[in-house]
Amino acid sequence: MAFHAEARRAITVAERELASTTDSPTKARLHHEMARLHETPLLEIDDALVHYRAAWDLNPSHLPSIRGVRRCLLSLGRDAELPPLYDAEARLTSDPTLRSNLLARKAALLRGLGKTNESQSAHEAALELDRDNESSLWASLADAERAGDWEASARHLATLTTGTTDGPYRAALLARRAQAVSAAGGSDDTATELLESSLEADPGLGASTLQLKRLHFQKGRFRDLIRDLERDLETTPDVHARALLLLQIAKIQDERLENPEDARLTIERARELAPSDPSVLAAAIRIYEHGKRPTLLADVLEQSIRATDDDGQRMEYMVRLAQLLDETLQDHGRAMEWYEQALELGPSPRVFMALGHLYRSSGNWEALVALRLREAESLDDSLLRAGLYCDMADIAERRLGDSDRAIDLHMRAMAQRAGFPRAESALLRLLSVGERWREFVDICEGALDYAETDDVRVAHLLRIAEAYLHPLGDPPACVATCLRILDLVPTHIGALRLLQIAAERAERPQELIDALDREAALTKDPHHQAALLHRAAEIAGRTLDDREGCVARLQKALDLLPAFRPALRSLGEIYAEQGRWEDLLQNLETELSICRDRTQRTGILLRMAGLAEIRLGNRTQAKDLYRRALEESPRAPHAFRALSALLRDLSEWQELATLLEVRMEKESDAAARLEMADTLASIAEEHLAQGTLAERCLEVVLATMPTHQGALDGLFRIHAAAGAWDKAAAILARRAEVATTAADRTAALLVLANVEDMRLEHPHRAIDHLESVVSVEPAHTAAWTALRSLYRRTERLADLRRACATLAQLLSDNRSRIGVLHELATLLDDGTANGSPEELRSTYLRILDIDPEDMVALEGLERLALQTGDRQLLLHVDTTLLEHRTAGEDRAAVALRIAESLEHLGRPEAADAYQRALEEDPHSLGATRGLSRAAKHRADPELLAEAARREARISKDSTSAGALLVHSARVRLGDLSDRSGAMGDLERALEISPDNAEAVDVLASALLAQDEPERLVQILTRAAQTAKREDRRSALWMAIAEVQADVLENSPAAIAALTRVLRDAPHHIESLDRLARLYTRDGQWMEAVKLYEKLVELSPDDADVAGRANLEL
């Protein structure tokens, strides 16, 4: 172009002047001018470098020449020669910030050259000039981290932190500094304070919360730990996860802070979120028990009953609820209801005893009878069953007034235990009262069969005889008769028993008791004697309210037969009514010694343990009893729960851990197993320092609930405390994998990246984790901040460029943004990242948007304008030249360059500028082509068509000219409705470029639409005859054949056209196939057969060809 020629002329003039002068300043000026012209617009960088060096040699303090040398060396890629240039420029620069920036850029260059030590020294020098130089700070930080010097890392991070006010960015730096302090072995308190400051700057930085929780737990700062968990609550949307967080808080408040009221409030929040969660309900039970909240405890027990499907667990909850309602809340009605529901799940001695007491207290005799009947059916001991049937019979007779039912029940007692004295005597009485003499006689006759002695048989005969007297209805007379018999035979058992009947009928209980006592004194059978004494005791207690006499007889019965359970049972009831807890405990111990049924033994032991714990306050004894109950029935839920609570209260952690561990191994219910594993893990970690056990338990929790955040946090704490960072990393990876929220996943990945980097020295893995974060959260400042450091340290400069560019978008603090943009510009400018001049230009412009006086950006833009011909800057320069400085220069060239710049920038006035350039030079190909491009951009069809024709006329390239004419034709057809002009353009296009396939397509479409197939054949024939490329000739003849055959229905002409194709390309498959079909259609079978045979021969593997041949022929 003319402007280049002018530059050449200017250089020639300067060379002549240089040869004619000896003045050094003049020579330096001339060298500098020649260098500038060689650099731009001629882009002769080697020549420019020679002259810039000469100018610098002549004037060592001339900064523009120094900068020119540096620009040229950068353009030529001669980086090794650059460091002295930065030093020279720095010596001549007075501003310490600019000097610091120059040294930082020199350090980055040295790093790229592999001179690590020199690079570090240059960064240190830069920081001495400006301690806030972010480029050097970040580079020095990367060096320190690469060397594992975490103390130095913490110092650099501290400086970076003080220099920013951007909340998320500051939070990320503080968090990283805390991690560096920990990695350096510094104070946990310092790391904690830094993490807290991080969260003040950005409350949503989950990684800081995760680290803080670990530190607060290790230091026992449980109030702070609660604040951490509350912070998690604010950022956790998942309802179940929030409930588990509240559960953790409640446990800490209850067990660590001993604040049951706060624990209650927290667990109620958890219940609102997860009302049926087993873990939440179990924790609520513990907290309400500990906090003495019986009403709330009753509510959560009822909720637990509804929430579980395990019958054993449901019964346990029902019994606990009923006991609470009965003993604490005094709601006996509801207590009875829950005991009754518990019995629907299965028999239980505890429930039978408790419910029987409630029925008796409330006078619900019918229900008591049904209860005793159910209890009897559940027992294996026939003696005990017989006693229960007698109890039922007494209730039926005395409370319900139903003698017939009483007789039936006594009969059932006799069926259980033949000759059972209590049932026998009662039956005789009832039968006589009911005047059921035959049955009476039958009973007596039956008694003869098992009478022990002849005296007894006599007694039975006396009863039979007496039966005949009963209708007389004179019981006192019968009593007198019996006394006379006894006066004669004092040991006459028959008389004594008859006396008992008569006395009872006469309602003379004292005589009845005396008779029972006398018979008891006479009998030798301890079982029978005990039964008589028990009967006498029952009458004394219930009829005469003689408690002392009742107890004395029961004790005597037990002295005779310690294993007589009916007496033990009755005595136990009396002790319970009188509150004689120690005696009751001893009584139960005796009953336990004779009981063989495991279920009943377990029930007795549980009742004994409850007495020892609640009534006697002897927790040590209670503990032993609960343990014995578990030995009898290892799966007894009440015993396990009570013993666990007791051991917790006694702080006997090792024993509690052993109990839980054994129980957990045998537990089949998933929810219960999870709760036990969680509790055992807490005990092992917090009280026993047994990390291995805690780890195993937490794995059990995670096997059931893989997303259990508390378990994952616990495992991370354990491994971190043990320094097992590889395991800690694996847990963090699991935490990220099962995270239910994006925030939770991000927090885990951030901490994992820190562990991989600072603890395991795997920076590349750390990068992978952080990149996973930003792939989901592209605007995560903390992740990008960490990546920036890691990319620099691992020399992934293209990725470092990306990190800096992203941070420049995210940061709000201007100083921090400028620091990031300076580093990005250094990477782009020094060629250490795969950037483009446009990116560099954009970076400098963004800096200037923040600080219009930033010298680094201003210098960089100047260099870009000269070095790369930056269009925006060139437009400004060229506009100035055109308006003010164009004397002696070719205005057309300047106008053309202005137009090209406007076009490059997408400005709409580019078309007008190209027209002005054509006014300056109507034959300018560049302006003509530019006008065509601008017209397309402006969507001006008329101008576009004209530009295309103009360019085609002056273009020396027939292919390009043809394409332009086709484009003009398309515009005329589509936008201007100029068919005539379009046809002319298309015919001309095929004349100058017969190989143009697009022209053929557009022309064929247009002429066929106008029903001018003959004209189309003529034009295509001319094009086929002049086409240069064989494939285009074939395509043209094929098109002609198609029109001849399908449109004009001229098969011979079509065959001739296809023959032309095969003459040049005998094996042209498509032509052969088309010609064969034409022969077929024309009835030329022999010719068609030959062609199909040839097709099959040429395409042996093409099933379609063979199939079509068979089909056609």
Token pair, residue 633, equals 């029935």
Report pLDDT for 866.
60
Q: How far is CA 291 from the centre of its chain?
A: 34
Cβ count within 10 A of residue 666: 9
- For 704-718, give one letter per residue: b (16+ CB within 10 A) or e: ebebbbbbbbbbbbb
At position 641, the amino acid (one-letter code) is R
Distance, CA of 283 to CA of 286 (rounded, Å): 5
Q: How many angstroms separate the CA atoms of 345 and 878, rounded? A: 97
Pair 194, 178: CB distance under 8 Å: yes
| pLDDT at residue number 53 | 93
DSSP calls for 716-766:
HHHHHHTT-HHHHHHHHHHHHHT-SSHHHHHHHHHHHHHIIIIIT--HHHH
Cα-based distances in Å from 37 to 10, 42, 251, 994: 8, 7, 80, 45
Mean pLDDT, contiguous 10-residue spans, the chain (1113 residues): 60 79 82 75 85 90 81 84 88 83 83 84 86 81 83 84 82 83 81 81 76 81 86 83 87 85 88 87 86 88 86 86 88 90 86 87 90 87 86 88 88 82 82 77 70 68 64 68 72 75 78 79 81 79 78 80 77 76 82 80 84 84 86 80 84 87 82 84 86 87 84 87 89 88 87 89 91 91 90 86 89 86 81 71 84 72 68 61 43 62 77 78 60 71 66 58 74 77 77 77 79 82 80 80 79 79 77 77 77 73 62 57
Burial call 791-829: b when 16+ CB within 10 Å, e when fewer = bbbbebbebbbbbbbbbbebbeeebbbbbbbbbbbbbbb
Amino acid at 246: L
Read off the DSSP letter of residue 470: G
> Is the peptide bond between 763 and the residue preceding it cis, with omega within 30 degrees of 0?
no
Residue appearing with tokens 């702070």:
224
CATH number of 669-736: 1.25.40
Q: In whole angstroms, what separates CA 503 from the centre of its chain?
A: 82
- Of 676, 665, 601, 653, nearest to 631 by C-alpha is 601
Cα 341 vs. chain centroid, distance in angstroms? Answer: 41
Amino acid symbol at 1061:
V
- Using a 10 angstrom Cβ sphere, with 0-12 exposed, 13-18 middle and 19 or more buried, the burial of residue 293 is middle
- Residue extents of the structural domains in the chain: 669-736
Residue 241: name the closest of 738, 910, 608 by CA.
Answer: 738
Among 175, 242, 182, 184, residue whose Cα is nearest residue 218: 182
Q: Give, in order, the Cα–Cα distances in Å from 924 to each of 696, 871, 896, 915, 918.
A: 84, 21, 9, 11, 7
Residue 336: which of 309, 360, 303 has the closest Cα?
360
Three-state secondary structure readout of 398-430: HHCCCHHHHHHHHHHHHHHCCCCHHHHHHHHHH
Cβ(496)–Cβ(512) below 8 Å: no
Distance from the first to the final alpha carbon of the chain: 68
The Cα 804–Cα 825 span in angstroms is 9
Query: Measured between alpha carbons, how far is residue 671 from residues 249, 264, 321, 674, 1005 in Å?
Result: 20, 22, 20, 5, 76
pTM score of the predicted model: 0.57
**Structure-block tokens of residue 582:** 């120690």
CA 584 centroid distance within chain = 56
pLDDT of residue 1: 46
How many angstroms separate the CA atoms of 741 and 1069, rounded? 61
Query: Which one-letter DSSP state was computed for residue 1054?
Result: H
Angle between helices 96-112 and 83-91 (to 10 degrees): 170
